[in-house]
Amino acid sequence: MTARRVVPNVRTTATGMRRSAEFYGLLGFQEVMNLGWITTLASPTAPEATQVSFLTHDLTAPVVPDVSVEVDDVDTAYAAVLESGAEIVYPLRDEEWGVRRFFVRDPAGRVVNVLGHHRPAGPSAPEAPSAP
C-alpha cells in the first residue's frame, strides 16, 4: 500500500468557506470540488499534490477529519490500522461521492480520513476525479 497524497482539512462555516476560496485564490489556488459541505482548492499546475479542503461538517461521519490521506489500497490500509489497535472513528465504507474511506485517530489525537477512489469497472472507464 502506498500513500498518494495528503490534504489538510480546515473546519469552517459556509461564509468562511467562501472567504477562504477567495483568499487562497490570491495565492493561485482554484476550486476543484464543491459538494456544498466541502470545497477543495488546488494548484492548477500540480492539482494532485497541492490541495486544501474546507468543510462545514462531514456529510456522513461523526466528525470533521483534520487531514485526508489518499492511498492506493484503502482495504489494506484499513486491515493494517485495525491490526495495530488504533482507534477507528468511522468504519470503512463506500460513500456516494465516489470514495471508499474510514477515519482513524492518530497518536497525536488527530482524526485522519483514509480514502481511495472508486474505479469504474471496464478497461475503458475513466478514473474517478480526486476528492477527499
Domains in the chain: ranges and CATH: 3-117 (3.10.180.10)
Report the alpha-carbon distance of residue 41 to residue 132 in Å, rounded.
11
Confidence (pLDDT) at 128: 38
Task: Indicate the pLDDT class of residue 119, thresholds 50, 70 and 90.
Answer: low
Confidence (pLDDT) at 19: 95
Task: Indicate the pLDDT class of residue 127, thresholds 50, 70 and 90.
Answer: very low
Confidence (pLDDT) at 62: 94
pTM of the model: 0.83
3-state secondary structure the chain: CCEEEEEEEEECCHHHHHHHHHHHHHCCCEEEEECCCEEEEECCCCCCCCEEEEECCCCCCCCCCCEEEEECCHHHHHHHHHHHCCCEEEEEEECCCCEEEEEEECCCCCEEEEEEECCCCCCCCCCCCCCC
